[in-house]
């Protein structure tokens, strides 16, 4: 049976999930989790959560799925130590340094690869399995057929997302929030840049295709395909930022579906809590033109009627579904929402009413038109029903009790539950019954009162005769035996003596090189004409949606699958999309056979110094580092095509497009396989900063939208810089230094 994995941003949401049938919970702490804006858990709250869940056979996984800088590693390691001792079942991890620390020190603490790692093929899955992963969380873009193939060939537990918000970018591969607002998704602080409006412009034709929420994905809903999803070991619901009633609703609906108990029509309940409308997702081959809701980025609700007229200052609403006083509605007036809490609703005679089935009337100051559509965004009765669903016991555990006792002897009570056995013997002796003895039925009545516990009395064996015991003492025995069983089920972790694994010395000669990434043939020609030795063009294997092919010479790989496929065959450089920001990750990649490691776009000068110093101190040498010093930075790589939703499918062959907002313009590169790259409109330029990063061996130029002449000029400028030219090149109007001088949040 597949695990149903629920999100919890706080203790109330956790209880709501467990009460409605979740098998496991994932949550974050106050640091190192990819939802920094959720309430999250303190260590004290986590201990309470673990006790609550483990008593009910529910597992807890903690997210530590951000990138971690060198000056944070010790704190991260200390947090892992505490999480292990508290009894956490597993960690969901992005950073290789964190991953290796868990695998090396805590075999009982499962290391799960976060979707932030971008694993979407069997090669990446096999590499992480080899490195010690106990579960791989696949990217949301992986289709069901490929999930089945990975499961069959890799033989490792798989986790997939089945419901909730979708990122437009591959997780871990979006730099938009960080580049626009210095708040990185890879640090858990995504500001939701994809939920903002953008204008799509055909720059070839100088034509605006309108402003919309063109990057805002609908919410994933796979309920209709629940049986096919059971190939995965864990079915994950997104929503650590959502309120407890949302969690209760989604978990209850999917639990009933998994158990074959979902009644006809109950699927509609999913629309009664937060939704952006729904898509079956790429997992079930959703058409790219249908996967985004370009009209509205937040709670859509569900249609319940329309404005049908106005009388005596009251707007008339004709209903297709009933409303109740206390509901919240939104009225779509020319694309602008009028949100209203129904504190007062009226009938046709202007009398206050508490509910309506066919029509009702409201007084509001906003102007509405006849035929404006009306949506319900909160159903007060349904919300109250959900709130009543927790806290409660989704299931109770059978308690088998045996009682032994004779007059003038202590009483012994033994309890067994799911293979655990506890016993208690009184410190007093039983009295002989003078008239009416305390019998089987007396014990049965009191020991059955287990509603304030997780147990139900499954059987009672009574071996006591001619005794008397007051009801109060029987109740005391019940409480004692329940506490003993609880403690037995909450067995403590055995302390682990952490291993001191010696580092292998991996040292590279310090030298200065230029590398150039090319997107077009004319850029490649410019590199060849200027004698560039390190060129990434046809030898580039991107992070996601890869077809591996045999190649000669050096290969630039963007993801873990590329490392698995090409190691031992080719000289490999790992790309910036590996999100490397600390010395331990560099070391691990070098050990895997990576010759050159390109650092993350999200690392600054001081953090580079820390990385190099820590590498030298711990490894005894220097790493072989590459860094992008010029080019339009990647905002995101996405399976989605923003052109298709605007009816421009295929027109990318003749036209170029950009997205535009109040901050600037973002060029779009459309690939032959209908995937999309979105770039920062401002060019990253660190050519004036080379002296401050002396331990970077290879300075990379990232060519994307430049023509031949521009490419030649850029390459020659960097060459001159390395030959001692001190002329300043930075243009503050058109260029950016990215995160180089500012720590990303």
CB atoms within 10 A of CB 610: 20
Which residue has 């049976």 as its token pair? 1
597 strand-pairing partners: 574, 625
Could you give the CA distance from residue 198 to residue 179 in angstroms, rounded to a whole number? Answer: 16
Average pLDDT over residues 12-38: 92
CA 1 to chain CA mean position, Å: 23
Please give the pLDDT value at position 744.
80
In order of 426, 483, 603, 708, 731, the CA distances from 423 in angstroms are 10, 11, 58, 83, 78
Predicted structure pTM score: 0.96
Please give the pLDDT value at position 742.
86
Does residue 501 or residue 437 have the better pLDDT? 437
The yes-or-no verdict on residue 233 having pLDDT over 90 is yes
The yes-or-no verdict on residue 355 having pLDDT over 90 is yes
Could you give the CA distance from residue 575 to residue 569 in angstroms, rounded to a whole number? Answer: 18
Please give the pLDDT value at position 243.
97
The answer to whether 654 and 614 are in contact (CB under 8 A) is: no
Average pLDDT over residues 333-360: 96
Average pLDDT over residues 688-705: 97
The yes-or-no verdict on residue 34 having pLDDT over 80 is no
Contacts of 169 (CB under 8 A, 6+ apart): 176, 194, 636, 637, 638
The yes-or-no verdict on residue 71 having pLDDT over 80 is yes
The yes-or-no verdict on residue 47 having pLDDT over 80 is yes
CA 626 to chain CA mean position, Å: 29
Residue of 681, 586, 633 lying closest to 67 (CA atoms): 586
Please give the pLDDT value at position 46.
97
Cis? peptide before 226, omega within 30° of 0: no
The yes-or-no verdict on residue 37 having pLDDT over 80 is no
Contacts of 548 (CB under 8 A, 6+ apart): 123, 541, 561, 562, 565, 566
In order of 124, 146, 157, 269, 550, the CA distances from 150 in angstroms are 10, 6, 10, 33, 21
The yes-or-no verdict on residue 400 having pLDDT over 90 is yes
What is the chain's mean pLDDT, rounded?
96
CA quadruple 601, 178, 656, 291: dihedral sign: positive
Could you give the CA distance from residue 166 to residue 290 in angstroms, rounded to a whole number? Answer: 13
Q: How confident is the model at residue 499 (pLDDT cuts 50, 70, 90)?
A: confident
The yes-or-no verdict on residue 272 having pLDDT over 90 is yes
The yes-or-no verdict on residue 103 having pLDDT over 80 is yes
Could you give the CA distance from residue 659 to residue 200 in angstroms, rounded to a whole number? Answer: 5
The yes-or-no verdict on residue 564 having pLDDT over 80 is yes
The token pair that represents 53 in the structure block: 């869940």
> pLDDT of 184-219, one tens digit each?
999 988 989 999 999 999 999 999 999 999 999 999
The yes-or-no verdict on residue 745 having pLDDT over 80 is no
Could you give the CA distance from residue 147 to residue 673 in angstroms, rounded to a whole number? Answer: 20
Q: How confident is the model at residue 613 (pLDDT cuts 50, 70, 90)?
A: very high
Q: How confident is the model at residue 150 (pLDDT cuts 50, 70, 90)?
A: very high
Percent of the chain with pLDDT over 70: 100
Average pLDDT over residues 17-44: 91
Please give the pLDDT value at position 496.
86
The yes-or-no verdict on residue 493 having pLDDT over 90 is no
Average pLDDT over residues 601-625: 97
> pLDDT of 416-426, one tens digit each?
999 999 999 99
Average pLDDT over residues 616-629: 98
Report the b/e string of 174-210 with b at 16+ CB within 10 A. Answer: bbbbbbbebbbbbbbbbbbbbbbbbebbbeeeeeebe
Average pLDDT over residues 60-82: 97
Could you give the CA distance from residue 469 to residue 433 in angstroms, rounded to a whole number? Answer: 8
| Percent helix, percent strand, percent coil in the chain, to nearest 5 | 30, 30, 40
> pLDDT of 282-312, one tens digit each?
999 999 999 999 999 999 999 999 999 999 9
Please give the pLDDT value at position 645.
95
CB atoms within 10 A of CB 710: 14
């Amino acid at each position: 049976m597949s695990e149903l994995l629920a999100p919890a941003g706080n203790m109330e949401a956790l209880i709501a999930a467990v009460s409605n049938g979740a098998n496991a919970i994932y949550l974050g702490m106050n640091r190192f989790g990819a939802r920094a804006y959720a309430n999250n858990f303190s260590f004290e709250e986590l201990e309470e959560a673990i006790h609550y869940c483990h008593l009910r056979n529910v597992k807890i996984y903690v997210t530590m799925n951000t990138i971690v800088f060198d000056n944070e590693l010790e704190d991260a390691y200390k947090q892992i130590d505490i999480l292990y001792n508290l009894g956490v079942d597993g960690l969901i991890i992005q950073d290789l340094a964190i991953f290796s620390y868990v695998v090396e020190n805590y075999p009982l603490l499962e290391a799960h690869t976060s979707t932030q790692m971008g694993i979407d093929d069997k090669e990446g899955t096999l590499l992480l399995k080899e490195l010690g992963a106990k579960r791989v969380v696949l990217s949301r873009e992986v289709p069901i057929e490929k999930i089945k193939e990975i499961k069959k060939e890799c033989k490792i537990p798989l986790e997939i997302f089945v419901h909730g918000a979708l990122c437009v970018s591959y997780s871990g591969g979006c730099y938009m929030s960080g580049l626009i607002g210095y708040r990185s998704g890879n640090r858990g602080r995504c500001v939701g840049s994809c939920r903002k409006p953008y204008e799509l412009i055909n720059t070839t034709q100088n034509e605006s295709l309108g402003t919309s929420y063109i990057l805002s994905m609908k919410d994933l809903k796979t309920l209709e395909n629940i049986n096919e999803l059971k190939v995965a070991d864990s079915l994950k619901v997104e929503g650590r930022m959502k309120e407890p009633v949302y969690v209760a609703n989604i978990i209850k609906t999917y639990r009933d579906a998994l158990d074959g108990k979902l009644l006809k029509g109950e699927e509609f309940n999913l629309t009664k809590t937060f939704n952006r409308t729904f898509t079956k997702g790429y997992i079930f081959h959703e058409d790219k033109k249908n996967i985004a809701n370009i009209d509205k980025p937040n709670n859509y609700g569900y249609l319940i009627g329309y404005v049908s007229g106005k009388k005596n200052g009251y707007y008339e609403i004709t209903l297709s579904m009933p409303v109740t006083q206390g509901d919240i509605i939104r009225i779509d007036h020319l694309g602008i929402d009028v949100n209203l809490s129904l504190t007062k609703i009226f009938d046709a005679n202007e009398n206050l009413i508490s509910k309506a089935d066919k029509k009702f009337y409201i007084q509001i100051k906003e102007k509405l038109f006849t035929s404006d559509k009306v949506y319900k965004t909160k159903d007060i009765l349904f919300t109250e029903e959900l709130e009543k669903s927790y806290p409660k016991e989704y299931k109770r555990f059978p308690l088998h009790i045996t009682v032994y006792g004779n007059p003038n002897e202590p009483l012994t009570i033994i309890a067994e539950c799911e293979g655990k056995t506890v016993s208690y013997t009184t410190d007093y002796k039983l009295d002989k019954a003078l008239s009416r003895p305390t019998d089987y039925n007396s014990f049965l009545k009191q020991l059955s009162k287990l509603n304030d516990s997780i147990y139900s009395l499954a059987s009672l064996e009574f071996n006591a005769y001619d005794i008397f015991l007051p009801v109060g003492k029987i109740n005391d025995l019940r409480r004692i035996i329940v506490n003993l069983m609880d403690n037995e089920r909450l067995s403590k972790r055995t302390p682990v003596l952490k291993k001191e694994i010696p580092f292998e010395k991996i040292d590279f000669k310090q030298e200065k090189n230029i590398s150039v990434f090319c997107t077009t043939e004319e850029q490649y020609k410019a590199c060849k004409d200027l004698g560039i030795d390190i060129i990434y063009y046809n030898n580039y294997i991107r992070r996601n949606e890869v077809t591996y092919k045999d190649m000669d010479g050096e290969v630039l790989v963007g993801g873990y699958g590329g490392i698995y496929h090409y190691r031992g065959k080719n000289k490999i450089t790992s790309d910036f999309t590996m999100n490397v920001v600390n010395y331990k990750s560099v070391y691990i990649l070098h050990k895997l056979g990576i010759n050159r490691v390109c650092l993350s776009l999200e690392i600054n000068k001081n953090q580079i110094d820390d990385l190099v110093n820590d590498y030298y101190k711990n490894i005894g040498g220097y790493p072989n580092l590459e860094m992008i010093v010029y080019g339009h930075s990647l905002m995101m790589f996405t399976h989605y095509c923003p052109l298709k939703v605007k009816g421009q499918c295929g027109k990318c062959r003749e036209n170029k497009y950009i997205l535009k907002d109040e901050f600037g313009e973002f060029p779009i590169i459309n690939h032959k396989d209908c995937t999309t790259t979105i770039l920062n409109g401002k060019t990253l330029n660190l050519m004036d900063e080379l002296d401050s990063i002396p331990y970077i061996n290879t300075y990379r130029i990232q060519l994307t939208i430049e023509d031949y002449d521009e490419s030649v000029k850029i390459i020659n400028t960097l060459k001159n810089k390395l030959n001692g030219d001190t002329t300043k090149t930075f243009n503050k109007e058109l260029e950016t230094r990215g995160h180089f001088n500012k720590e990303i949040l």
